[in-house]
Each structure stands twice: as structure tokens, then as C-alpha cells.
Amino acid sequence: MITDNVIGARDVGKTFAEAVREDPDAVTVWAGRHRDVFEIWLLTRAIDAEHERALYARVAAVHDAFPNALTRVYLLNPASVEDVDEETLVAENVPDYAEEIFSRRE
């Protein structure tokens, strides 16, 4: 169990953002908490499945920093959906309680 006094969604999100920040295809990171699960959303540029797996693997930084935290990562890859613009992809997948942690959106 995670105690509210120990870590917050912002801490988890910042740790993940640092792990993906140097990847130019990582566009925006949001983080939030739903019940006992820390959730992270990563918007990418259009990338292939191999690159997706590499980005998912960067959640290891969160697991290293917060080994008892339950974490779920959602990757929003425009290449995975047809006829959906970036704004719609974000609006349909990132909940209101999520806080933007990092962005290089224009």
C-alpha cells in the first residue's frame, strides 16, 4: 500500500518524464492517481512497435525509485489509431485528474 504522505502522482510522473525526456519522440507526460494506482500517460509522435516497447521499458526508472508503487503506463501513439488527431487522442484518453508534467507540444 502507498501512503499519501510518502509519494504523489507528480513525483512518479516527474521520474518517468526524466526517463523519457531525451527521446525526441516523447511529446507529453501526464500523471495522476486513481485509487492506489499511479497512472502515467505518454503522448508520442508516430512511432513503430519496437520504439513503443523501448519507451514502455523506461517505467523501470519509476519502479527503481518507488518499488512499492503500483504504476500503469498508457502510451498514446498516433500511429496506432486511424483518423484521430492529437487533440482528440489526448481528450479521449487523458482524464481530467491527470496533471501535465512535461511537454514539448507546440
The whole-angstrom separation of Cα 100 and Cα 69 is 20
The whole-angstrom separation of Cα 104 and Cα 106 is 6
Beta strands in the chain (DSSP E): 26-34, 37-44, 70-76, 99-103
The pTM for the full model equals 0.91
pLDDT tens profile 58-103:
999 999 999 999 999 999 999 999 888 999 999 999 999 999 999 9
Take residue 93 and report the three cell numbers written for it.
484518453
Question: What domains does the chain contain, in order, with CATH numbers?
Answer: 9-103 (3.30.70)
Eight-class DSSP state of 21: T
pLDDT at 3: 47
